[in-house]
Amino acid sequence: VTLHLNPISSVHIHQKPLVFLLNSPLPLVWKLKTERLALGIRRVFFVSLGSVVQFEKGNFSLSAETEEKFFPEKNEHLLQWAQKEYGAVTSFTELKISRNIYIKVGE
């Protein structure tokens, strides 16, 4: 699955930390494609067991962290866990089948 990340139109370059929970019932390779995300900003990708994140060529991976995590099975429980762990959830998306996911990040 390719995860496309770019800032909302009102933000020229996104310069804030991000945390992603990438959950799947089967292990996946998450291919990350980014546009206009500042380098050197902490971005964390938690993936379900057996999954990995592949970064594009460049320096983005130097400030990104990937960690395998055991997530709750049901989405309601995952959302509750994320809210408890991080205090807020700004976006939650559930897809049954997808090769590309487009996410706009920003204020």
Q: pTM for the whole thing?
A: 0.90
How do residues 37-91 score in pLDDT, each as one tens digit? 998 899 999 999 999 999 887 767 778 999 999 999 899 999 999 999 888 898 8
Q: Hey, what are 88's tokens?
A: 């807020």
When divided into structural domains, the chain yields a total of 1
Distance CA 23, CA 8 (A): 24
- Amino acid at position 62, single letter: L
Quick check: 18 and 46 in contact, CB under 8 A? no
Range of the domain at 93: 2-105
Q: How many residues does the chain have?
A: 107
- Amino acid at position 16, single letter: K
Provide the pLDDT for residue 87.
Answer: 87
Distance CA 60, CA 76 (A): 31
